[in-house]
Structure 1
Amino acid sequence: MQPPVHPVDQMLPARAMVSLGFQHMLVSYLGAIAVPMIVAGALKMTPAQTTLLISTALFTSGIATLLQTVGVWKFGVRLPLMQGVAFGSVGPVIAIGSDPALGFNGVCGAVIGAGVITLFLAPVIGRLKRFFPPVVSGCIITAVGLSLFPVAYQWAGGGHGAKDFGSPMFFVVAFGTVALILFVNSHGGKLVRSLAVLIGLLMGGVAAWLLGMGNFDEVARAPWFTLVTPFAFGLPTFNAGAIATMVIVMVVQMVESMGLFVAIGDIVKRPVTEREATNGLRANGLASAIGGMFAAFPFIAFMENVGLVIVTGVRSRWVVATCGVMLCAVALVPKIGALFSSIPSAALGGAALVMFGVVVAAGIRTLGQVDYERKPANLSVVAITLGCALMPVIMPSLLARLPAALQPFVHSSVIIACVVSVFLNLLLNGIPARDEEPELAVTPEHIAEM
């Protein structure tokens, strides 16, 4: 008799794969285009160049997602992990692109060079997996969810730049969307429940449009088709200083990715091994090198989609791989992408509140399994890590006077949570043996599984 297929490897019926993949794409779309839009504005790109940059970012996000979920040879962690442009790369990309001697071609060269270098560094960083026991991964998951809430609040209030930001009607739409998601999740059939966020988001969006929120101006302006080709902005320029800068950024992101791999493995109940973590980091490096060829950016996991995995209960990596294929297709039809991005922010805010909230809940659940009786120091690890990780969320001005070299790192709650929790765990609990399994508190759930 063949062993049962793990839910992560399960192939669903085609209709479910398409609808669930579409739901993931809808959730990830705004995050996928946010960085290229910011960079294009900072570098004063033309509308045509901005459209091209967004398309290349979407296309390479799809490739990176497929590489990470499906896996090829020694590349890919093979988890339901949506890949997107790393927000931590915005500062360095703008700094390199603003240099007249380098320009955007210098950005492409730096990303390609750093991607190749970090690809070969993957086995070294992969050996750090043992430093991410549940007390560390639980802190990281919780910090990720908490750090995403400001985005949800901004959307729920009408979105960045809204003239009547915080209007009660925005909250009516946002919490109406929450109510719709909860209703569908409670009373729908199995497939309908798995699409609760998509249904709530679309119905909330329609209600917002009927109330006069949002418009379709960008849809009208966007072209129907665009061609995504390598080196669309010209041949890359390789500069040692620019590459070194991007390598530093990407090494930090590798540590962050390591934490996310372990955290997501815990969420879907498929613990990540050291070899799998290394394969995931290799995929990040290769995807970034490919991204540089297409004028895109370094890549990292999107935790917004992890919230969707938790809400729907569907852990199949093939669903997220379907999302990757859809991203590649949408990149070629900017008008479709513009239609997705025209969904009113208030409806997005309601859906985000649900998804980001369940990420926090998943982190709390992981921390609830940590042994605080035999290892009381774990309580200090959790307390201090979360206190530090929330600094850039609650009071970012507190970190403004730190050295400029630290700024890209101290404004990421996930990086802070990774560094602080790993350091404190080593300091207070000691260095774990390479093959040591992390100790969890014995709960009734564990007894039932024995």
Structure 2
Amino acid sequence: MTTAVHPVDQILPARAMASLGFQHMLVSYLGAIAVPMIVASALKMTTAQTTMLISTALFTSGIATLLQTVGFWKFGVRLPLMQGVAFSSVAPVIAIGSDPSLGFNGVCGAIIGAGVITMLLAPVIGRLKRFFPPVVSGCTITAVGLSLFPVSFHWFGGGRGAPDFGSPVFFAVGFGVVALILLINRHRSELVRNLAVMIGLLVGGAVAWMLGMGNFDEVSRAPWFTMVTPFAFGMPVFDIGAITTMVIVMVVQMVESMGLFVAVSEIVKRPITEQDATRGLRANGLASAIGGMFAAFPYIAFMENVGLVIVTGVRSRWVVATCGVMLCAVALVPKIGSLFASIPPAALGGAAMVMFGVVVAAGIKTLGRVEYDRNPANLSVVSITLACAMMPVMLPSMLEKLPGFLQPFVHSSVIIACVVSVLLNLLLNGVPARDESEHPIHTDNIQEV
């Protein structure tokens, strides 16, 4: 008997699930630990506290990923979305944590409170799904990819702050990884092709290490085992002002998440309903509340992993869920995590260039379905949106003097792309009709298994 299963819901063989999940973890690990490292440094935490913060961030990132990919009851958008710490939360977290009357306990209380409030707001924001037609989702996907390029360029050049940044040897390693990924993609075996990014990263990292890039100092200093427990920094402090600040930040993140949900659904060819979007936003709120309990942070989708979904063509949410389980496990063994983090930036840059490039290509493909001849207004939506979205990427200093209440919005290309494209589409094309279908039947790319 055969059953029609959408690629997003496919459960692959155990070997493929493990290897592909591991590949997602390699790609996401550095981004997952970046925010806790920045916050720990800014708040002058001890080495032990920093290690604890990294472990809790990884552990709760794994939980957030499972909530979003596997889902339960009215939680989870059930798409292949890796969840990670939202970079837009760094500034408010540091500001709250720097207040002597609050400290990091105040940060935890603010995130728990804001997470609960955003869960309650999820149905309201979820109703905005109809305002994200292909012209909007295409702009969002393209802006995501373009905004990620500076990250890959910094890695490609040897890492931000490297004394010999831009040295030809870094370019050699980076382009070598790109060439290896392209070569592997011509292999006959589908499994080998799907692991192209991981193989490129590991081989490129090994070559970079042999050339003297990077070191294993952090690996030797990291402990073998650590426990992740709730309220590791003490009981949370609930302050109305801090909670209000975090709610504002997380509402902005909800708008960004809405754009990402629709964008990813376009990429994997599984349209979502308002109910799906609401479940995804509700899962983000729950994950953030759990993060606050474990001394972690608010969570949002990592678009780096979406690039990996496009490169491999494997759209199974269960692969990303496997990555979530691995993150929880690695959080308990900091030495293994430090080994992943020691992959030289040049190798990461080569892999990132491929993945971020295909995100841009996916956005362009979506925009290619938009009608321009019969509706010239769409051309204005695309052109103005992308121009505005590139401001924080190309010239962030021009936005620094804008009012303080706008700062959480204007430093994210994704938020700008979402807001500008939605507003322009409403202004030029009118209000879209609400989709009354609660459970649409998806027929694209259904496979027999």
TM-score w.r.t. structure 1 length?
0.96
Aligned to 1:89: 89
Please give the alpha-carbon distance, in whole angstroms, between the structure 2 residues aligned to 1:3 and 1:133: 31
Aligned to 2:51: 51
Amino acid at match of 2:348: L
Matches within 5 A, 1:21-420: 21-420=21-420
Q: Offset at 1:3?
A: 4.2
Amino acid at match of 2:281: L
Q: Which moved more, 1:213-222 or 1:401-410?
A: 401-410
Residue pair 2:252, 2:408 contacting (<8 A) in 1 also = no
Amino acid at match of 2:69: T
Q: Offset at 1:186?
A: 1.3
Amino acid at match of 1:21: G
Please give the alpha-carbon distance, in whole angstroms, between the structure 1 residues aligned to 2:393 and 2:152: 13
Amino acid at match of 1:410: V
Q: Offset at 1:313?
A: 0.3
Please give the alpha-carbon distance, in whole angstroms, between the structure 2 residues aligned to 1:62 and 1:187: 32
Give the SS at the match of 1:84: strand
Give the SS at the match of 1:227: coil
Please give the alpha-carbon distance, in whole angstroms, between the structure 2 residues aligned to 1:63 and 1:435: 32
Q: Offset at 1:405?
A: 2.1
Amino acid at match of 1:37: M
What are the superposed Cα offsets for residues 145-196 of structure 1, whole Å, 9 maximum, x if unpaired? 0000000000000001211000000000000000000000112410000000
Please give the alpha-carbon distance, in whole angstroms, between the structure 1 residues aligned to 2:225 and 2:3: 46
Amino acid at match of 1:306: V
Please give the alpha-carbon distance, in whole angstroms, between the structure 2 residues aligned to 1:344 and 1:188: 29
What are the superposed Cα offsets for residues 80-132 of structure 1, whole Å, 9 maximum, x if unpaired? 00000000000100000001111100000000000000001000000000000
Residue pair 2:230, 2:293 contacting (<8 A) in 1 also = yes
RMSD: 1.2
Aligned to 2:428: 428
Please give the alpha-carbon distance, in whole angstroms, between the structure 2 residues aligned to 1:313 and 1:2: 22
Give the SS at the match of 1:187: coil
Amino acid at match of 1:416: I
Give the SS at the match of 2:4: coil
Q: Offset at 1:373?
A: 2.0
What are the superposed Cα offsets for residues 241-277 of structure 1, whole Å, 9 maximum, x if unpaired? 1000000000010010000000000000001111000
Amino acid at match of 1:148: L
Q: Offset at 1:374?
A: 2.2
TM-score w.r.t. structure 2 length?
0.97
What are the superposed Cα offsets for residues 204-231 of structure 1, whole Å, 9 maximum, x if unpaired? 0011011111100000000000000000
Q: Offset at 1:433?
A: 1.0
Residue pair 2:20, 2:194 contacting (<8 A) in 1 also = yes
Please give the alpha-carbon distance, in whole angstroms, between the structure 2 residues aligned to 1:251 and 1:76: 17
Q: Offset at 1:408?
A: 2.1
Q: Offset at 1:372?
A: 1.0
Q: Offset at 1:355?
A: 0.2
What are the superposed Cα offsets for residues 303-331 of structure 1, whole Å, 9 maximum, x if unpaired? 00000000000000000000000000000
Amino acid at match of 1:232: A
Q: Which runs of structure 1 show a deviation greater than 2 angstroms over 4 or more consecutive aligned residues?
A: none
Aligned to 2:441: none
Q: For this pair of structures, how many residues does the alignment match? A: 439
Please give the alpha-carbon distance, in whole angstroms, between the structure 2 residues aligned to 1:98 and 1:124: 33
Amino acid at match of 1:199: I
